[in-house]
């Protein structure tokens, strides 16, 4: 008679405790589980903690694009790589607020603003703070990714009403030096510490498909899950191979390895939003459905959704409908409302800056 291991045959009936003491070997064991067992376990934990038929939708806007002095090997915004990216100075506050309004109308509940900086200069802070206040006044949650923060900058953003700060670990501590040399892993942990201390929710995750081993994926999730508090949002990006960056010719990343990474993140951090962001365009509908099942419950609408009558936006909403998923915290958006709310096309180049 067919059977499977007792640990996964029954649905957990109680919420597992939040743990910050995961051992590397435990995480490696999760990655090595048979696929169906892993999916069942992850989904069971997911539905104990979230409405399994809701996905939170955030919009990401690049408020300052390119010319970044850092050397992140995957990133077209680094000044060190010739990617043809059009550099854009910090956007005007009013322009950012207009895009935030459009994002709200298309069903986003959180508006994320990303600037390609090593860290914000003090002279940039007044504009950035005005953006946070303005977006917040619209009733949207606010998120920013601006690079490394000093404690006083974190507390100024907190006072302005910033809800989330994104700062990714990118990969394991062991593999990190192969990807970035201009800031250390500890620099990243320090920024996350300042953000937490300032009372801002932490959004932190990484990128897979950069040539790392499974052990590195274990190492990344170990770092995230053993933080003093789990990040409230955990973006899992799939490498976008951009021509001109050192990672342009990286090998294809296996779909099942991606889905497993999402499932393990869900198991380790049961109450965190696990977010799909960069690399979604390489995932078909069936894969989206599987990663939602594995516990992903947040997606990024990129800036393109703000700027074109957007097939991508419609594709996401169409898939939601077909899967019976609702965007979290918003009334369903009708086709007519959606079409009416999309602004005229703007040509700004967009890159997901959420990989800071």
Q: Which residues bind ligand SF4 (CB under 6 A)?
A: 68, 70, 72, 75, 77-78, 116, 147, 353, 355-356
Q: Examine the residue annotation and report whether 47 is marked as an active-site residue of this protein.
A: no
Q: What's the min distance (Å) between Cβ of 90 and ligand SF4?
A: 13
SS3 8: helix
Question: Which residues 6+ apart lie within 8 Å of 283 measured at CB?
Answer: 238, 255, 258, 276, 291
Q: What's the min distance (Å) between Cβ of 106 and ligand SF4?
A: 25
Q: What's the min distance (Å) between Cβ of 262 and ligand SF4?
A: 21
Contact 111, 143 (CB under 8 A): yes
> Catalytic residue among 110, 112, 188, 241, which?
112
Residue closer to ligand SF4 by CB (options 116, 224) is 116
Q: Examine the residue annotation and report whether 80 is marked as an active-site residue of this protein.
A: no
> Catalytic residue among 110, 188, 260, 275, which?
275
Q: Examine the residue annotation and report whether 72 is marked as an active-site residue of this protein.
A: yes
Within the chain, residue ranges assigned H as helices are 6-9, 24-31, 35-49, 93-105, 125-137, 151-160, 173-176, 185-197, 214-225, 255-268, 285-294, 304-307, 311-323, 335-341
> Catalytic residue among 75, 110, 260, 280, which?
75
Q: Examine the residue annotation and report whether 260 is marked as an active-site residue of this protein.
A: no
> Catalytic residue among 110, 183, 188, 203, which?
203
Rounded distance, CA 355 to CA 350, Å? 13
Residue closer to ligand SF4 by CB (options 37, 187) is 187
Contact 222, 24 (CB under 8 A): yes
Residue closer to ligand SF4 by CB (options 77, 310) is 77
Q: What's the min distance (Å) between Cβ of 175 and ligand SF4?
A: 16
Which neighbouring-strand residues pair with 201? 164
Give catalytic residues, as residue numbers.
Answer: 68, 72, 75, 112, 143, 203, 275
């Amino acid at each position: 008679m067919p059977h499977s291991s007792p640990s996964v045959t029954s649905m957990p009936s109680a919420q597992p405790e939040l743990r910050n003491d995961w051992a590397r070997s435990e995480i490696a064991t999760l990655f090595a589980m048979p696929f169906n067992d892993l999916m069942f376990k992850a989904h069971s934990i997911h539905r104990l903690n979230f409405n399994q038929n809701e996905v939170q939708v955030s919009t990401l806007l690049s408020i300052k694009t390119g010319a970044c002095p850092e050397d992140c090997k995957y990133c077209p915004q680094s000044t060190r790589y010739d990617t043809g990216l059009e550099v854009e100075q910090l956007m005007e506050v009013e322009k950012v607020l207009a895009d935030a309004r459009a994002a709200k109308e298309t069903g986003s509940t959180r508006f994320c603003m990303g600037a390609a900086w090593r860290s914000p200069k003090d002279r940039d802070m007044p504009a950035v703070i005005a953006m946070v206040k303005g977006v917040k006044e619209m009733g949207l949650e606010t998120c920013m990714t601006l690079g490394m923060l000093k404690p006083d900058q974190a507390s100024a953003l907190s006072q302005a009403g910033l809800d989330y700060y994104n700062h990714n670990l990118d990969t394991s501590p062991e593999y990190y030096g192969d990807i970035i040399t201009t800031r250390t892993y500890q620099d990243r942990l320090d920024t996350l510490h300042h953000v937490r201390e300032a009372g801002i929710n932490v959004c932190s995750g990484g990128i897979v498909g950069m040539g790392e081993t499974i052990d590195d994926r274990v190492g990344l999730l170990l770092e995230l899950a053993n933080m003093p508090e789990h990040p409230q949002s955990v973006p899992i990006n799939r490498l976008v191979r951009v021509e001109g960056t050192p990672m342009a010719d990286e090998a294809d990343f296996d779909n099942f390895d991606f889905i497993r990474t999402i499932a393990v993140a869900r198991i380790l951090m049961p109450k965190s939003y696990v977010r799909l962001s960069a690399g979604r365009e390489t995932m078909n509908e069936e894969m989206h459905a599987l990663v939602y099942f594995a516990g992903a419950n947040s997606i990024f609408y990129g800036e393109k959704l703000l700027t074109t009558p957007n097939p991508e936006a419609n594709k996401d909403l169409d898939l939601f409908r077909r899967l019976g998923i609702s965007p979290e915290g918003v009334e369903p958006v009708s086709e007519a409302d959606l079409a009416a709310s999309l602004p005229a096309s703007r040509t700004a180049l967009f890159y997901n800056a959420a990989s800071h």
